[in-house]
Chain A
Amino acid sequence: MKFYVKLFALNLKSQMQYKFSFFLSCLGQFVTAFTSFFSVKFIFMQIDAVDGFSYGQVLLCFAVVMLSFSIGEAVGGGLANFPRMVRTGEFDRILTRPGNLVLQVMIPFFDFTRIGLLVQGAIVLGIAVPQSGIAWTGAKVVTLVLMVVCGAVLFFCLFLFQAAFAFFTMDSLEFLNIFTYGARQFGRYPFSVYGRRVLYVLTFCVPLALVQYYPLRFMVDGEGQAVYMFLPCLSLLFIVPCWALFKLGISRYQSAGA
């Protein structure tokens, strides 16, 4: 444990070394995220509701996805370096050390500039909560926390899934970005607006709707759909196939000639 904390601190130190660049990156993250916020705002200047969801409710959805994405990506985004480590055989070194493989790959690339996105998400959440017209109860607050936390885990799993493909293809599969960077964009709206089929895929294949659409329904519609409240927890099952793929990948690892 001490080792990972130190590795983490080492990485933070080296990212902070160029202070100006670090703060500019954070600011950049913060500012660019505004564009997607405004695109939602402008659409709602023309219409009152999307698929029955009001402006405040869509903003809530937006904030949840933004928060969970920024956490998931800060932690797991560094796994994008994994295909290079596999190709060059750098992963050898990690395999010859005791300790968790994923943590050893991830921590040196933990991206602290994502804090900009996180702050933006928090601000949007602050705007959305009073505007959503939701009668807040203890259960709904718990649901909101579950959405963000499970969502972050889910995004992390998607980065891990994408990285694990490098064992088989020697390169990352860019199309999987649809579910990471793509989901951050189209997750601004409740997934039901994209039609039944998309909702099915996002329920049963890549369970993003379990942390977004269904619990949102519960918060908006209230007690009748209390079962939706715990669906975010169910989405955590997605860890199983991701981890299995990674494990299978290790046994297929070919290293690089040396």
Chain B
Amino acid sequence: MIEFQKVCKTYRVAKRQAGFRNAVKSLFSREYETVQALDNVSFRIADGEIIGYIGPNGAGKSTTVKVMCGILTPDSGNCLVNGKIPWKERASHVKDIGVVFGQRSQLWWDVPVIDSFELLRDMYKMEERRYRRNLEELARLLELSELLKTPARNLSLGQRMRCEIAASLLHEPKVLFLDEPTIGLDAVSKIAVRQFVKKIKEEKHTTVVLTTHDMMDIEALADRVLLIGHGRILLDGTLEELKRHTSTEKIITIKYTGSMPAVSGGMELREAKENQLTVALDPAILPVSVAIASLASQTELLDVSVTDISAEEVVAALYKEYQI
């Protein structure tokens, strides 16, 4: 379980104007700006939950994750991960967590992946049997067997990410931190990573904290979403709740033959192409079934699809609403 209680963290950032003259000036007198990265952040994450942690760049996502990993010490407030204070009991705390930073590798660059794994085995002082079992399982699930003998620097990004995830799970952590795990991956690799994370959660009951800008990740994985902006938690709920918070709108897209149907009251025309029509409506005012019946009565329908507002749009609307 992860618990955050009124955590605050500020950074002191040196301010400097561009240009050589200002660079010289800053040698003698420097102005500092205090940036409030986390402002009374509190939340609780239960065991086995997958949390989608979202917010624009600079909102405080990385800072939160770094506090939970024991990298940063907050100015005030308390944080407990599996009952331990990360920055105080660092060594024993990090044995129970796995960390994947999408932008930073944890594999030794010049040695075959399997050698990196064995170094990790020794670092975490794992029993040989337990290591073998976990390695075999991860290699099977992530299809690593072909990659293990390749040096990390020769792997493609997708291959490397699979190895990174395996490396972070070898010691069976209770909590897994994924920081932009699908960044830069192709569609096939993205889907593979998502399916794998789902499986791990189901089989091992691992808690996952997922930070990402890819809303497809959130849609596919997150049980619950935390939205952070300006160092504050702005929303906390399921993706469904977030969607409802933003808009209850439904989108109906139809394909038809014959004449274009008229868009009646309660429906709003979004797009009209040849033999295709998209309308939006609020089901509280006009039930979806009534709208479809109305359209069907006017023309011959070939295809109908009803969708919600997309996660991408929800987040864009939320960022706008909170001006973050």
For B123, give its contact among A3, A10, A90, A258 (CB under 8 Å): A3
User: With an 8 A cutoff between CB atoms, is B62 at the interface?
Assistant: yes
For chain B, residues 61 to 79, give those with C-beta under 8 angstroms from any C-beta of chain A.
Answer: 62, 66, 69-73
User: With an 8 A cutoff between CB atoms, is B108 at the interface?
Assistant: yes
Instruction: Determine whether the beta carbon of B69 is less than 8 Å from that of A96.
Output: yes
- Tell me the complex Cα distance, A254–B63, Å: 9
Contact with B along A137-179 (1 / 0, CB 8 A): 0000000000000000000000000000000000000000000
Instruction: Determine whether the beta carbon of A258 is less than 8 Å from that of B99.
Output: no
Q: For residue A251, which residue of chain B has the nearest CB?
A: B73
Instruction: Determine whether the beta carbon of A98 is less than 8 Å from that of B104.
Output: no
Instruction: Determine whether the beta carbon of A254 is less than 8 Å from that of B70.
Output: no
Instruction: Determine whether the beta carbon of A98 is less than 8 Å from that of B71.
Output: no
Given A92-B101, A251-B87: A98 and B123 interface contact (C-beta under 8 Å)? yes
Instruction: Determine whether the beta carbon of B87 is less than 8 Å from that of A258.
Output: no
Interfacial chain A residues near B69, Cβ < 8 Å:
92, 95-96
Instruction: Determine whether the beta carbon of B94 is less than 8 Å from that of A98.
Output: yes
Q: For residue A1, which residue of chain B has the nearest CB?
A: B122
- Tell me the complex Cα distance, A6–B117, Å: 12
Given A96-B99, A253-B71, A253-B72: A258 and B124 interface contact (C-beta under 8 Å)? no
Instruction: Determine whether the beta carbon of B122 is less than 8 Å from that of A6.
Output: yes
Instruction: Determine whether the beta carbon of B62 is less than 8 Å from that of A257.
Output: yes
Instruction: Determine whether the beta carbon of B104 is less than 8 Å from that of A92.
Output: yes
How many interface residues does chain A have, given as a range?
A: 20 to 34
Q: How far is the CB of A143 from chain B (nearest CB, A)?
A: 38
- Tell me the complex Cα distance, A253–B95, Å: 21
- Tell me the complex Cα distance, A99–B122, Å: 10
Given A10-B108, A258-B62, A258-B103: A97 and B71 interface contact (C-beta under 8 Å)? no
**B: number of interface residues (CB 8 Å):** 32
Instruction: Determine whether the beta carbon of B104 is less than 8 Å from that of A14.
Output: no
Q: For residue A99, which residue of chain B has the nearest CB?
A: B123
Q: For residue B9, which residue of chain A has the nearest CB?
A: A254
For chain A, residues 199 to 258, give those with C-beta under 8 angstroms from any C-beta of chain B.
Answer: 250-255, 257-258
User: With an 8 A cutoff between CB atoms, is A93 at the interface?
Assistant: yes
- Tell me the complex Cα distance, A251–B90, Å: 11
- Tell me the complex Cα distance, A92–B101, Å: 10
Q: How far is the CB of A238 from chain B (nearest CB, A)?
A: 25
- Tell me the complex Cα distance, A168–B108, Å: 28
Instruction: Determine whether the beta carbon of B72 is less than 8 Å from that of A255.
Output: yes
Interfacial chain B residues near A3, Cβ < 8 Å:
119, 122-123, 125
- Tell me the complex Cα distance, A2–B123, Å: 8
Q: For residue A257, which residue of chain B has the nearest CB?
A: B62
User: With an 8 A cutoff between CB atoms, is A80 at the interface?
Assistant: no
B: which residues have CB within 8 A of A? 11, 58, 62, 66, 69-73, 87, 90-92, 94-95, 97, 99, 101, 103-104, 106, 108, 110-111, 115, 118-119, 122-125, 179
| 16 pairs, CB–CB < 8 Å, chain A vs chain B | A6-B119, A6-B122, A10-B111, A92-B71, A95-B71, A95-B90, A96-B70, A96-B71, A97-B94, A98-B91, A98-B95, A253-B71, A254-B11, A255-B71, A258-B62, A258-B103
The 4 closest A-B pairs by CB, nearest first: A3-B122, A3-B123, A251-B73, A2-B122
11 more CB-based (< 8 A) A-B contacts, given A98-B95, A99-B123, A258-B62? A10-B115, A89-B104, A93-B101, A93-B104, A96-B94, A96-B99, A97-B94, A252-B73, A253-B71, A253-B72, A258-B104
